[in-house]
Chain A
Amino acid sequence: MSELIYPQPVKAKFFTPGMIIVSLIALNGIVFLAIRFLFGIGAVTNLNNQYPWGIWIGVDVAAGVVLAAGGFVSAAMGHIFHLPYMKLVVRPALLTAMLGYTFVAFAVFVDIGRWYYIWHPLVMWNGTSPLFEVGICVMIYLTVLYIEFTPILTERFRGKVNLPSILRVFNGLVEWILKLLDNTLGKVMFLFLIAGVVLSTLHQSSLGTLMVIAGYKMHPLWQTPILPLLFFISAVCVGIPMIIFESLIASRSFKIEPEMHVLSKIAGYVPLLLGIYLAFKLGDMFIRQSFVYMTEINKFSIAFIIEIVFGVILPMIMLMSRRVLNSPFWLFIASALVVLGVGINRINNFIIAYRPFYAKSAYIPSFGEISVTLGCIALTVILYRAIVMIFPVISLPKQDDLKELKHNRG
């Protein structure tokens, strides 16, 4: 195997059968999005005055933010702590974070009743509101992510600017702008890298603070003043599994060799992080004595057990085994469990645990809500595929080597 691998645009067919299905899901979501914007939130969702927040917040925003945590975790590990083998996964993780947060911002835009006032928090500040803090942090962090991505853009086009026909006169100008961007950003990028990590720490934890104010309306298995800490630790936990998860999917989809030597190394950290999370989660449970609610068998105790057993304990044990770490299949399963587990945790916190006193029946998302959520995820997948095919994000062996490799295999 060639050791000379570097990020480069992936060459593959865009519309594979899988991608056609993804596109159909996206189209279906767009239909319901149109209904939402034409006739209001009530026309598409099952939300009411007792359940003001549904899956657009619980899944799109809360789970979306935490599953984009790979960006700040890899930035911290690669750029700040300088773990040598992180280099290969920093760019894909950055792209996921950038697209993930764009997806989150769009979900907020769809969910708020007055989408055209989405800029209000920029000028109307309420320091006591954790939602304000999350909003501001996410807005700044999204900007930081775009800035962090800029070098990839300049790398792709610098020295190759070739605008069609009349626009050709601007070639020099664009080239000059790219050069300027490259040079200035190179000098100050470290500020943005650190800022990205700080901003993530802040809003990942404040996302947990959001539900604290719901007080007794939230089931005691989840309602705790240390929710911000739990949210932050779980975000750190899910960062690496998310990187592994998407890296393995990408290698499969683009038919490239998975970077097992990197993936199994970084997966080695995960059991420890999950252990810390589990200790806090169970410690909190014992201090608040909320374990009494585990004796009743209802949707709360079942949801809690699924979250802890399948999302934390099982992958923790799995990832302690060498065999799992070295097998792409088992590594994928274990990472997917953590990703799903943390996702379920966010859904539990924002949707399952929320049981308003005056609700007549529990909230169940409508077909329209699910369509919009799936549609937005599908759009993100399409964008991801398009970007890795245009920009140098995924690390591959040199083109010639690749051809040879394929040739030999074929």
Chain B
Amino acid sequence: MDEKVKNQNPRRTFLKQFAVGTAASVGVSLIPTKTEAKFKDTQRENETRMGVLFDATLCAGCRNCERACKVAHNFPVDDIETFRDRSVYKEYRRPSPNNYTVVNEFPPSGVATFPIDVKVQCMHCNEPACASACIVGAFTKHASGAVTWNSDMCIGCRYCMVACPFQIPTFEYDKAIQPKIQKCDLCFERTKVGKIPACVENCPVGALTYGPREELLLLAKEKIERHPDKYYHHVFGEYEVGGTSWLYVAPVEFSELKFPPVGDSPAPGVTEAIQHGIFAYFIPPLALFSWLGGVMYVNNRKNKKIENEANEGEKK
């Protein structure tokens, strides 16, 4: 008899309790909470937000910007003549730890009769995935639009590199101590003292324009309107991943220029919605804790009762 009570279908009880609990916790996490990402004021579109417009129809691929960037960030710089070497264009290049920006060249296609040169660097997203993903919050989106990285916080986990939709952050794999995450900082130190980014300042053909993002958008659209035959009718960066500080206009479709297939929704959107769902003011974890506590209490009491009955039975 006692044995029977003890083994009274523990599996069924377990499954029942398990099912109820799962349903309850899922239910709790579905309670509507503010899932829209909460951004600091500096992260919202505002008048101080600056950016750069890149015009691929003007860029001649002189790589002055590459050199100027290295100088501005105190990296070892080769002679200017080495930057005139166009053989580097044979291979598609990406930014590296001591090269925040690179220019790539694509063969002429569509309306373009000349090779198309495209500068690559951090896009400085309006809602940066790196800043959202970083385990310690080492990235900051500034009111000026720049996304910068703080060496004093970074632990070198490289999750920013996993998160970035443009695959921009690079890591110093060859350093055993204090390896850095390296990426374009939109010349944060220069712009703070009223200068413009080094690449923009050193572009000899005016392919780069620095200014308030809103104005750059108008300028970009005006360019397309004035020369509808010269441009592909799209400003890359206006809506991509929720908008970026860098904006691009080009003679051909952007996918032909190796722009990644990103959508218009901000890269951290889904993740932050999930995070806020699971951690809605700590309600779901606490609910789970108390439910498990309740189950434990009930089961403990049940077990004690059975034990007591068994003991009494023995006495009799």
Q: Which of B17, B137, B263 touches A125 (beta carbons < 8 Å)?
A: B137
The residue in chain A whose Cβ has the minimal distance to the Cβ of B241 is: A215
Does chain B have a CB within 8 A of A386? no
A residues within 8 A CB of B267? 213, 215
Q: Are B176 and A38 in contact (CB under 8 A)?
A: yes
Contact B289 A113 (CB under 8 A): no
| A-side contacts of B25, CB under 8 Å | 201
For window 84-131 of A, CB contacts with B under 8 Å fall at 84, 108, 111-114, 117-118, 120-121, 124-131
From the candidates A120, A194, A356, name the one contacting B289 in the complex (CB within 8 A): A194
B136 touches A225 (CB 8 A): no
A24-32, A44-52, A148-156 - interface stretch: A44-52
Interface contact B279-A133, CB-CB below 8 Å: yes
B37 touches A201 (CB 8 A): no
B96 proximal to A (CB < 8 A): yes
Asked if B10 lies at the interface with its beta carbon under 8 angstroms from chain A, I say yes
Q: Mark B266-288, 1 if CB is under 8 A from A, else 0.
A: 01101110110011000001001
Nearest residue (CB) in A for B302 is A82
Q: Is the CB of A228 within 8 A of B274?
A: yes
Contact between chains at B137 and A124 (CB < 8 Å): yes
- Given contacts A127-B279, A129-B137, A80 and B271 within 8 Å (CB-CB): no
Q: How far is the CB of B10 from chain A (nearest CB, A)?
A: 5
- A114, B179: Cβ atoms under 8 Å? yes
Known contacts being A41-B179, A82-B299, is A53 close to B137, with CB within 8 Å? no
B contact residues around A358 at 8 Å (CB):
92, 94, 167, 258, 260
Q: A80-B296, A117-B155 are known contacts. Are A52 and B162 too (CB-CB below 8 A)?
A: yes
Question: Does B154 interact with chain A (Cβ within 8 Å)?
Answer: yes
Q: Which of A174-223 contact B (CB under 8 A)?
A: 190, 193-195, 197-198, 201-202, 205-206, 209-217
**What B residues does A217 contact at CB under 8 A?**
162, 165, 167
Given contacts A40-B179, A81-B14, A213-B267, contact A357 B167 (CB under 8 A): yes
Partner of B155, one of A118, A193, A210, A212: A118
Question: B residues within 8 A CB of A211?
Answer: 162
Q: How many residues of B contact A (CB 8 A)?
A: 71
Closest to B165 in A: A215
Cβ contacts A57-91/B at 8 Å (1 or 0 each): 00000000000000000001101111110000000
Proximity bits, B125-154, A CB within 8 Å = 1, else 0:
000010011111110000000000000011
Q: Residue on B with the closest CB to A209? A: B274
* A330 CB within 8 Å of chain B: no
Bound-state CA distance A269–B14 (Å) is: 10
The reply to whether B159 and A131 contact each other, CB–CB distance below 8 Å, is yes
Residues in B with CB closer than 8 Å to A42 are 173-174
Q: Are B154 and A213 in contact (CB under 8 A)?
A: no
| Bound: A381/B290 CA distance, A | 36
- Docked-complex contact B173 and A214, CB < 8 angstroms: no
| Inter-chain contacts of A81 with B (CB < 8 A) | 10, 13-14, 17-18, 295, 299
* Cβ contacts under 8 Å, B156 to chain A: 112-114, 117
A271 within 8 A of B: no
How long is the Cα–Cα vector from A123 to B84 in the complex, in angstroms?
Answer: 48
Q: Is B6 an interface residue (CB 8 A)?
A: yes
CB distance from B18 to the nearest CB of A (A): 7
* Contact assessment for A268 and B11 in the assembled complex, using a CB-CB cutoff below 8 Å: yes
In the complex, A135 has a CB within 8 A of chain B: yes
CB-CB nearest in chain B for A214: B162
Chain B residue, CB-CB nearest to A225:
B270
Instruction: Check: A329 CB closer than 8 A to any chain B CB.
Output: no
Q: B176 near A213 (CB under 8 angstroms)?
A: no
Q: How far is the CB of B176 from chain A (nearest CB, A)?
A: 4
Whether the pair A82, B303 counts as a contact (CB closer than 8 A) is yes
Residue A272 lies at the interface, judged by CB distance under 8 Å to chain B: yes
CA distance A41 to B176 in the complex (A): 7
**Contact A212/B270 with A81-B17, A133-B279 known, Cβ cut-off 8 Å:** yes
The smallest C-beta distance from B16 to any residue of chain A, in angstroms, reads 10
Give CA–CA (A357, B258) in the complex, Å: 9
A209:B11 contact, CB within 8 angstroms = no
Query: B151-182: which have CB < 8 Å to A?
Result: 153-159, 161-163, 165, 167, 169-179
Bound: A190/B296 CA distance, A: 8
Known contacts A213-B132, A268-B11; is-contact A129 B173 (Cβ 8 Å): no
A197 in contact with B292 (CB, 8 Å): yes
The residue from A43, A45, A53, A198 contacting B288, defined by CB atoms under 8 A apart: A198
Is A214 touching B94 in the complex (CB atoms < 8 A)? no
Point out the residue from B6, B155, B162, B272 that lies within 8 Å of A84, measured CB to CB.
B6
Q: How far is the CA of A258 from the CA of B23 in the complex (A)?
A: 36
A132 CB within 8 Å of chain B: yes
A286 within 8 A of partner (CB): no
Whether A6 is near chain B, meaning CB under 8 Å from some CB there, is no
Q: Does A37 contact B (CB under 8 A)?
A: yes
Interchain nearest-CB distance for B140 vs A (Å) = 11
A333 smallest CB distance to B (angstroms): 23
CB proximity to A under 8 Å, residues B77-117? 92, 94-96
CB distance from A81 to the nearest CB of B (A): 5
- Inter-chain CA distance A132–B271, complex, in Å, is 13
CB contacts (< 8 Å) of A130 on chain B: these are 133, 271, 274-275
Q: What B residues does A357 contact at CB under 8 A?
A: 167, 260-261
Tell me if B15 is interfacial: C-beta within 8 Å of chain A.
yes
Chain A neighbourhood of B174, CB < 8 A: 39-40, 42-43
Is B293 an interface residue when CB atoms closer than 8 A count as contact? yes
Residues of B with C-beta under 8 A to A38: 176
Chain A residues near B263: list those with CB within 8 A.
216
Interface residue ranges, A against B (CB under 8 Å): 37-43, 45, 47-50, 52-53, 76-77, 79-84, 108, 111-114, 117-118, 120-121, 124-133, 135, 190, 193-195, 197-198, 201-202, 205-206, 209-217, 225, 228, 268-269, 272, 354, 356-358
List 8 A–B pairs whose Cβ atoms lie within 8 Å, in order of A's numbering.
A40-B174, A49-B169, A79-B296, A113-B172, A124-B153, A206-B275, A212-B271, A213-B267
Q: Given A82-B10, A198-B289, 10 other A-B contacts at CB below 8 A?
A: A38-B176, A82-B300, A83-B14, A113-B171, A121-B136, A125-B136, A201-B285, A201-B288, A214-B163, A269-B11
> Which 9 pairs between the two chains have the least Cβ-Cβ distance?
A113-B156, A42-B173, A126-B137, A52-B158, A52-B161, A124-B136, A82-B299, A113-B179, A114-B156
